Structure 1
């Protein structure tokens, strides 16, 4: 499965809308738990986008390896570090 830019941008636009909704919730003085719930959803959405991008990068590394084994290993290590960096 190839993740295209349109898919990633659509997810980010949805997340942007969620953030605007949270801002409105704060302006409207909504309950703390409701705001936290929405913030958690935004965090999950961003984590998902990050995972999609890193997974696509790893896939690309495997399908189109570098000429240098050292360079290939370096790219793979960077991608893995992005995943476990949390």
Structure 2
């Protein structure tokens, strides 16, 4: 099964990309460690949210497809949980 990534998730990742460029700029300007780490922490948080959103939306789509086909979706739920745990 394939998953079409919605524009709002791509937009979120472009924002993360901009944040990463900002961190590089902070480093090039020799800003404080505190500023750099703070921005890296924000990037990590944004990436975690993007991962959770992708998994949740994909899982929802997969569960609906499984139910329409009359199959059990519990295995997919377990796989999604494992994927989230592994991403941390």
Q: TM-score range by the shorter chain?
A: 0.7 to 0.9
Structure 2 unaligned spans of 5+: none
Matched residue count: 81
Cα drift, residue 67 of structure 1: 4.8
Question: Gaps (5+ residues) in structure 1?
Answer: none
1:17 aligns with 2:34: no
Residues 14-67 of structure 1, C-alpha deviation per residue, up to 9 Å, x if partnerless? 000000000010000000000000000000010000000111122123222155
Instruction: Give the 5 Å matches for 1:32-43.
Output: 32-43=33-44
* Backbone CA RMSD of aligned residues: 1.6
TM-score w.r.t. length of structure 2: 0.81
Q: Normalization by structure 1: what TM-score?
A: 0.83
